[in-house]
A and B are shown apart, each in its own frame.
Chain A
Amino acid sequence: MNNIVNIVINDTPLQVAEGTSILHAAKMMNVHIPTLCHHEDLCVAGNCRICVVEVENDPNLVAACATPVRENMHILTNTSKIRTARKHILELLLTEHNINCIKCSHSNSCELQHLALEYRSDEEIFIDLRKPSRTDVSSYAIQKDDSKCIRCTRCVRTCAQLQGVNALTMANKGNLAKMSTFKEKPMAEVVCTNCGQCINRCPTGALTERTYIEDVWNAIYNPKKHVIVQTAPAVRVALGERFGLKSGHRVTGKMVAALRAMGFDSVLDTDWSADLTIMEEGTELLSRLKKVLVDGNTSTVLPMFTSCSPGWIKFVEHIFPEMIPNLSTCKSPQQMFGVLAKTYYAKKKEIDPANIVSVSIMPCTAKKYEANRSEMRDSGFQDVDYVLTTRELASMIQQSGINVLTLKNETYDSVMGESSGAGVIFGATGGVMEAAIRTAYELVTGREVPFDELRITPVRGFDGIKEASLLLENTTEEYRFLEGVELKVAVAHGLANARNLVQAIKDGLVSYHFVEVMACPGGCLGGGGQPIPTNIDIRAKRMDAIYKEDEKMSYRKSHENQEVLTLYEEFLGKPNGELSHKLLHTYYTERNRY
C-alpha cells in the first residue's frame, strides 16, 4: 500500500500516491505536459526532456515522466524557464529531424509535428544538422528511415520490453547515436519478427510499414485481373478510428461496402479461413494427442503451439528453433485463404488463377513478410499477392473519395465469405484457443463447452500469460482415449510473455497440451498494422468490440461454418486429409539469432 503525499501543482494542492510520476499526477488534474519519449506501454526513459518542469528548491528542471512526487513537492509546469527549455529542446530535435512532413506517411500521427505546431516553431533558430541517410527498405514489412528518428528509444524499448526480441538497439554515442540493428545489418537480415509494434509506438515516421497501395490500385485498375480481398477479424474493430470514430466502433458492413465500391471484384473474409484453421488445427491437436497418449509416438511433441501469428512463427525460428516441432503445421488463416483462392475459388468461379490478384487487409505487418515466404506458393502462384495494413486501407479509402461513414452496411461475398463467431475472436488474445476449445470439446464429447453463452472466460483478457484446464468426460467412441484427460492450455500475447512461457515449458516448470501465442499485445487487435496511437484503453475497447461481434453471429463455432463444410465436401475431403496437407500445411526454418 502506497502512502499518500501532498503536493502542489501550479498552486493547486493535490493528494496522490507516493511514487506517482509528476507527469501522471499532473494528468490527474488535467494539466497537460508534453511528452515524446514517454509511452504508457513502456518503461520510463526520460531522455527527450520535453516534459521538464520546475520543482521548488531544485535549481535544475526535472523530467516529469521520470520524477516521482514526494511529500510537499511544489511543482510548476508553465514558467519562462520551462518554456525556454521546451522550445529549445523542440528546436534541437527539429534540427536533426528530416522535416519533409508532406512526404511522410506518418504525418497524421506524428507527435513531433503536433508539438512543433503547438509551440509554433515556425522559425529555425539553430543550425541544420540533418544528415543524408538511406531508408532501409530491405524488409518486406518494415521500413526504417534514420533521418526521421529522434532517438526517443520507444522502438528499442518496445522491441526489448514488450517483445523480448531485441532486434532494435541504440548504437554509437554522442552525435553519432542512432537506432540500429546488430552490426547495422539490414532489417531483413536480423532477428526482427516484423511484428511492427515499433511502428505503432514511433512518435515520428522513422519506422513505417512497407506499403503496397500502388500495386493494389494498379491491380484494381487492370481489367484483366480478378482482384479479391480478404479482411482479418481485427481490422473491422479498429478501422473506424482512422475516420474519427471511437475505438471499438465496429465498421464491418461499411468496410465491406467501401471495398466493393473501390473496385474489388470479390470482398471476402479471413474469418472464414480462421474457421477452417480451427478445423485443421483442432484435428491436428487431436491426432497429436492420440499419437502421444495412445501410440506412444516419441517423434510427436506436446504442447502444440498455434501458428496463426507470423511474428510468433519467425520468433520461434530465430529464438527457439528447437521448438519448431511444437508448432502446428497449419498455415495461418491468411495463407489458407490465399492458397484456396487460387485453387478452390478459381475452380469454382471458373477463373484462371493466373489472373487472380489476392489482397489481404491485416492488422499486421508480419503478414507482409509471411505472404512473401517462398514456401507460401502451394497454389502454383504466390498465394497472397499483397498485404495491406488497416492504416493502408484507411489511406486507400480516403484516396478513393468514398465517404465510408455514409455507406450502407453490406455483407461479404460468397464463397469464402461466411464466418462464425469463432473466426471473429481470432482477433483477440485467447481467441484462437477459445475457438479451438469450442470445436474440439464438442468433437470429443459431443456436447457444447460447459461455459455460459460459449464464453470461455479463463482465456480472455489482458493477462500476459493465461492458463486454463478442461476435464474431458463422457467422450464419444472415437475419442475414448481422451476420457478423463484434463486438457491443459495456455495463452500468451506479446513476445516477451511468449518468451517466458516457452522458457518455462523448456525448463519443465509447466506443461500443457496446447498453447496459443500471439506476437502482439492484446493479439491481432493490437497488431503492428493497426491505427496509431495504441494503449491499453484502446486495445480493451477493440477487444470488447471483437467479443460483441462474436455474439451477434448466427454461428459461434467453426465447425458450423457452412461454407467450410462445403469446402471439405467439394474439394478437400476431410481435415488433415491429403489435399489439406498439400495446401494448408507448411514447414518452418531455423534462423540466425542476431
Chain B
Amino acid sequence: MATELKRTELIFREDIDHSALIRKIMKMGKDSFITELIESGLKGRGGAGFPTGLKWKIVKEDPNPVKYIICNADEGEPGTFKDKEILEKASEKVIWGMALAAYITGAKEGYIYIRAEYKYLSTKLKIAIDRMESHIRTLGINFKLGLIFGAGAYICGEETALIQSMEGRRGEPTNKPPYPVNKGYLDRPTVVNNVETFVNAMIIADIGAEEYRKLGTKASQGSKLFSISGDCSKEGVFELEMGMTVQQFVDEFGDGDTKAVQVGGASGFCVPRKEFKNTIIGFEGVPTGGSMKVFNSSRSMYNILENYLIFFEEESCGQCTPCRVGTQQLLHGIRAVKRKEKPKIYLDELLRLAYTMKYASKCGLGRSVGNAFRSIIENFREEIVY
C-alpha cells in the first residue's frame, strides 16, 4: 500500500473563466450536465453525502415555477474550518457554482446561509455576487443571490433547520418527508448544498466526470478539503484525494504519537490506533465533512468525550426526546461512572441508549451523537472508567 498521500489542487485553482464555463454548460445542455454530475459520483461535501447530481435533477424536474438555491455555509462542526478557507480564497467559485445550479434547476433566487462569525466576509462576498449577477445576466440567466447570517446554533447547519431559520422561525429540523428538494425554503423545491459541493460542481463542469472520477475511490470520488487540527505536525486546510486510510493520514499529519483520530468532528467517529490501517476515510469507511482532529497519548479520551457531550447537550435543538434528554444522560452518565456513582456496567446501558438515539432521533444530529460516544466508549473504556 502506498504510504504517500495524493494531494490535489482543484478547489483553489485560479485559472478558471467561470463565465466561459457556464457558456460551455449551456451549450452542453442541462440534462447532459446532470448526467455528467451523476456520473462524477459527487456526494454532498457537508458530511451526509447525498448524491449532488440526483439532488439537482429532482429540483430541475419539479414543475414548480419558483425554486431556490441555498448554500450552507453555517460551518459549525467542531474542528471544521474549510468552508471559511473556501469563502476567503475561492468565493467566486462558490457563487458561480450556485449560479450553475440555478441555471440547471431553473431557480431565480438563491441565498448563502453563512455563520455569523464569518460576517467579516460579507463585503467581499457581496462584491463577488454583484459581479456574478451582472455577468450571468449577459448570458441571459437571471439569478439573484443574497446573504443570510445564522445566529450561532449548530443545529442550523441541518438543512431543514437552516430553512426554518431562514424563514424566521425557530431553527429546528422538520420531519422528512417532505424533503427540501420537494418542499424547502418557503415550501418551494430547494437545493441546499455545502460550500464545497458547489465548488466541486464547478470543477466537474470544468474537467468533466471522467477526469473527476479518476480521483478517489469507487464509493468516494474526487478530492476533499480537510480541516486538520489537534496534535499534528502541520495543521490547517489541505486538499486531499478521498479514500486514504487513517494510517496514511496519520503518517503525514500526526506528531508521531497519535493515539486516535476523530474523523468528522463531534458527530463523527473516533478511530483508535489499532484501526488506523484498515479504516478508509470516505463513505465506505468513516465519512467526514472535513474535520480531522488528531489526539496523541497525552490526551484523556474521557475529557474529549465529555467535551463533545457538553457540546451536544447544549447544541441539540431540544425538540426530540432521544436527543434532548439522551445527550444529557450520556454526559451525566459518564460523569457518574467516573465518580463511581454508577457501576462501570452502566456504560453498557448508555451504549444501548446511544443506539436508541441513533435509531429514533428526529434528525441527523441526534442520530450521530452516538457515533463519537460509541467509538470512544468501545475503544477506550478503561479511560472512561478509571
- Contact surface of A with B, Cβ cutoff 8 Å: 44-50, 52, 59-61, 63, 66-68, 81, 84-85, 88-89, 92-93, 95-96, 125-127, 129, 150-151, 153, 169-170, 172-177
B329 near A85 with CB under 8 A, answer no
B319 near A52 with CB under 8 A, answer no
B210 at the interface (CB under 8 A from A): no
Q: Which chain B residues border A60 with CB–CB below 8 Å?
A: 358-360, 367
Q: For chain B, residues 291 to 317, give those with C-beta under 8 angstroms from any C-beta of chain A.
A: 312-317
A173 near B318 with CB under 8 A, answer yes
B361 at the interface (CB under 8 A from A): yes
List 15 other contacts, CB 8 Å, given A84-B356, A129-B328, A174-B318.
A49-B362, A52-B359, A88-B356, A89-B321, A92-B325, A92-B326, A127-B329, A127-B336, A127-B342, A170-B319, A173-B153, A173-B315, A174-B315, A175-B324, A177-B316
Q: Which chain A residues border B312 with CB–CB below 8 Å?
A: 174
Q: Which chain A residues border B332 with CB–CB below 8 Å?
A: 127, 129
Q: Which chain B residues border A61 with CB–CB below 8 Å?
A: 359-360
A153 vs B170: C-alpha distance in the bound complex, in angstroms? Answer: 13
Residue of B nearest to A68 (CB): B177
3 smallest beta-carbon distances between A and B, as pairs:
A177-B318, A92-B325, A66-B175
Interface string of B260-277 (1 = CB under 8 A from A): 000000000000000000
Report the minimum CB–CB distance from A176 to chain B (whole Å). 7
Q: Which of A50, A52, A92, A153 has the most CB of B within 10 A?
A: A92
A173 near B359 with CB under 8 A, answer no
Q: Which chain A residues border B315 with CB–CB below 8 Å?
A: 173-174
B166 at the interface (CB under 8 A from A): no
The one of A67, A85, A174 that contacts B324, using a Cβ cutoff of 8 Å: A174
A84 vs B336: C-alpha distance in the bound complex, in angstroms? Answer: 23
Known interface pairs A84-B352, A173-B153; A46-B175 also in contact (CB < 8 Å): yes
B147 at the interface (CB under 8 A from A): no
A45 vs B361: C-alpha distance in the bound complex, in angstroms? Answer: 13
Report the minimum CB–CB distance from A153 to chain B (whole Å). 7
Residue of B nearest to A177 (CB): B318
Known interface pairs A50-B321, A95-B329; A85-B360 also in contact (CB < 8 Å): yes
- Contact surface of B with A, Cβ cutoff 8 Å: 153, 155, 170, 175, 177, 312-322, 324-329, 332-333, 336, 342, 349, 352-353, 355-356, 358-362, 367
A173 near B155 with CB under 8 A, answer yes
A67 vs B319: C-alpha distance in the bound complex, in angstroms? Answer: 17
- CB<8 Å pairs between A and B, sample of 28: A46-B362, A59-B359, A60-B367, A63-B175, A81-B359, A84-B356, A85-B322, A85-B360, A88-B352, A88-B360, A92-B322, A92-B329, A125-B349, A126-B329, A126-B349, A127-B342, A129-B332, A169-B170, A170-B170, A172-B318, A173-B153, A174-B315, A174-B316, A174-B327, A175-B314, A175-B318, A175-B328, A176-B314
The one of B317, B353, B360 that contacts A177, using a Cβ cutoff of 8 Å: B317
Q: Which chain B residues border A170 with CB–CB below 8 Å?
A: 170, 318-319
B321 near A129 with CB under 8 A, answer no
Known interface pairs A49-B362, A175-B314; A151-B324 also in contact (CB < 8 Å): yes
B329 near A49 with CB under 8 A, answer no
Known interface pairs A81-B359, A84-B352, A89-B356; A127-B321 also in contact (CB < 8 Å): no
Q: Which chain A residues border B324 with CB–CB below 8 Å?
A: 151, 174-175, 177
Known interface pairs A84-B356, A127-B333; A49-B361 also in contact (CB < 8 Å): yes
Q: Which chain A residues border B355 with CB–CB below 8 Å?
A: 84
A179 vs B226: C-alpha distance in the bound complex, in angstroms? Answer: 40
A176 vs B367: C-alpha distance in the bound complex, in angstroms? Answer: 20
Q: Which chain B residues border A153 with CB–CB below 8 Å?
A: 319
The one of A63, A66, A93, A173 that contacts B316, using a Cβ cutoff of 8 Å: A173
Report the minimum CB–CB distance from B160 to chain A (whole Å). 12
Residue of A nearest to B349 (CB): A125
Q: Which of A45, A47, A59, A67 has the most CB of B within 10 A?
A: A47
Q: Which chain B residues border A45 with CB–CB below 8 Å?
A: 319
Residue of B nearest to A173 (CB): B318
A96 vs B355: C-alpha distance in the bound complex, in angstroms? Answer: 20
Q: Which chain B residues border A84 with CB–CB below 8 Å?
A: 352, 355-356
Known interface pairs A46-B175, A174-B317; A129-B327 also in contact (CB < 8 Å): no
A68 vs B155: C-alpha distance in the bound complex, in angstroms? Answer: 25
A92 vs B356: C-alpha distance in the bound complex, in angstroms? Answer: 11
B314 near A173 with CB under 8 A, answer yes
Report the minimum CB–CB distance from B158 to chain A (whole Å). 12
Report the minimum CB–CB distance from A76 to chain B (whole Å). 13
Q: Which chain A residues border B175 with CB–CB below 8 Å?
A: 44, 46, 63, 66-67
